[in-house]
Chains A and B, each alone.
Chain A
Amino acid sequence: MNRTALLRWVGVHALGVAAALFFLLPFVFVLLTSLMSDQQALTRDLTPDTWEFGNYAKVFDTPGFLTWWKNSLLYAGLGTLLTVLSSIPVAYALARFRFRGRRLSLMLVVSMMMLPPQVVIIPMYLFWVKQLDLGGTLWPLIIPMAFGDAFSIFLLRQFLLTIPDEYLDAARVDGCGELRTLLKVVLPMAKPGIAAVALFQFFYCWNDYFGPQIYASENPAAWTLSYGLESFKGAHHTDWNLTMAATVLVMAPVIVLFFFAQKAFVEGVTLTGVKG
């Protein structure tokens, strides 16, 4: 390595470390504060004098916390399953079939994808709560996922387009119908795409705040973690330590899941942008 190259290496990596600190320090401070005693959490100290791992036990003891966990898992798990099942055939049709109105359908999918949920919330609320009496539950959020999700359809379609036609033609020559082709040939090849869509949808549900706020706010037994979390600061007033412990517990599952499925996830993010 010559002198300039060495200097450049140092410069680039110094910048990298600085950026890493910016991205990492908030996590570190949150974690450290979550382990402070009640008294110390009221001070400006950065590191705990005594490490109060009991704070996490206190969070779990908070009435409702375990129920919110269960609700988040139900919403995210069932929501993801329904979304994937209902979006696959739609994405397949949009990627492979030739039919009139295909371009229009695609444009509508993209429009729905970009639509803020608040645009249609009043009629939807009246429909689910006034007509079907499902207020105070998460069903108004879960049921629609059985009818395809625009973003998932779009992403899956982009992925299915990358599967070479030859495989499908071969299946057809072997006498497979479209459904058999989809199940036996396309799905196994589309696993990374399906994994990405499932992850995105899981995170969407896990993170959703607006939905539970609209439909479940009146009934704490139906709250999710993302919705219940903000009430921590209210219930514990200035106890930043417990609030931060709860924050860590909401972040943790998502980050653990990410480490298990990093490749699929990053591939999915890339797919949304680069194909555009």
Chain B
Amino acid sequence: MTAYTLRAKRRRSALRTAAFLSPWLIGFAVFFAYPLVSTVYFSFMKYDGFGAPTWNSTANWRYVLGSYTMFWPALRNTLWLVLVMVTCRVAFGLGVGLLITKIRTGAGVFRTLFYLPYLAPPVAATLAFVFLLNPGTGPVNSALEGMGLTAPGWFTEPGWSKPALTMLAVWGVGDLMVIFMAALLDVPKEQYEAAELDGANSWQRFRFVTLPNISPIVLFAVVTGVIQTMQYYTQPIVASKVASGIIGGSGQQFEPGYPEKSTLTLPQVVYNLGFQRFDYGSACVVALVLFALAMACTALLMRRSGGLVGAGER
């Protein structure tokens, strides 16, 4: 083949690649690269949507990290949710996944029942839990008081709102269950048989055979859980709106985080600054913090699980 035809062939193949990729290339430029650069730009600007943006130096940054009262509580809540909610979800998901692999009778029915709550639309599920846990007429508190316990105020009490959200998150654990179930069924049978011959009891079999085999999936579940926590928005904002009784279609007057900022998360802070206070510059500062955190987790995921990108690479 002559050099000329080789080059022509290469060019044709490059064009073909570009053609197949074109929807995403445009999407990447318009809906990712451009707005990201623009977010950095606005974080140094004073802009309320009217008139022209004016240079504001680092004032937005100093405001968000300094006198603005919602940023640090949101960050603290996020840390709480990462430590407690993610842990609970992974532990429970693994537990239910294990359980389902042991169930012999009616496994299909059990699996469907366990999975169903994951499908409940977040707004609907949140509304359901605000009702179930409402201190006045909710069935959960009726049951607790029936047992002679003092029932907490759940979504209306700062110390109990995050545990209530955690229960909601644990209820929808079906996605993790399915992932763990598949991983558990992949553990080579011979290893269990060998462990049994060596006299290992069921805990030892779990600890020394199951766990090492599924640890990449556990890591995957933890890191994606952390990333989801960074994005945690719908459940806390709907819960706080409904539980506080302040609901309007546009809801501009609503202060996120009810009760007492205990359900604030970073995405809600972006909403508060940008769409309730029209301080686009400061909203972009928080957006960039959120970006940095999400990307750090993603980098961890790509490096440690080795695979997300390399998966199936030949």
Binding site for B on A (CB under 8 A): 9, 12-13, 15-16, 19-20, 22-24, 26-27, 29-30, 33, 41-44, 46, 86-87, 89-90, 92-94, 97, 99, 103, 105-112, 114-127, 130, 144, 146-148, 153, 158, 161-162, 178, 203, 206-207, 209-210, 213-214, 217-218, 220, 223, 225-227, 229-234, 240, 243-244, 247, 250-251, 254-255, 258, 262, 266, 269-270, 272-276
Contacts and interface: CB of A to CB of B under 8 A. Distances in A.
A226 B233 CA distance: 14
B267 A116 contact: yes
Interface residues of B, number: 105
Interface in B112-162: 112-117, 119-125, 127-132, 134, 137, 139, 142
A274 B120 contact: no
9 contacts: A89-B19, A89-B20, A116-B266, A118-B287, A122-B42, A231-B247, A244-B127, A250-B121, A254-B119
Contact of A106 (B19, B114, B128, B309): B309
Interface of B: 13-14, 16-17, 19-21, 23-24, 26-28, 30-32, 34-36, 38-39, 42, 49, 96, 99-100, 102-105, 110, 112-117, 119-125, 127-132, 134, 137, 139, 142, 171, 175, 178-179, 182-183, 186, 216-217, 220-221, 227, 230-231, 233-234, 237-238, 241-242, 245-251, 266-267, 270-271, 274-275, 280, 283-284, 287-288, 290-291, 294-295, 297-298, 301-302, 305, 307-309, 311-312
Contacts of B96: 19
Of B21, B35, B132, B241, which is in contact with the most chain A CB atoms at under 10 Å from its CB? B21
Contacts of A250: 121, 123-124
Contacts, number: 293
B247 A234 contact: yes
B129 A26 contact: yes
B238 A230 contact: yes
A235 B166 CA distance: 28
Contacts of B312: 158, 161-162, 275
A193 B134 CA distance: 41
A209 B103 contact: no
Contact of B247 (A42, A118, A225, A233): A233
Given A146-B23, A158-B311, A207-B234, 16 more contacts: A16-B110, A19-B99, A19-B114, A20-B114, A30-B131, A42-B137, A97-B20, A114-B295, A119-B291, A119-B294, A123-B38, A124-B35, A231-B249, A269-B178, A270-B179, A270-B182
A247 to B, nearest CB: 5
B298 A274 contact: no
Contact of B305 (A86, A233, A258, A276): A276
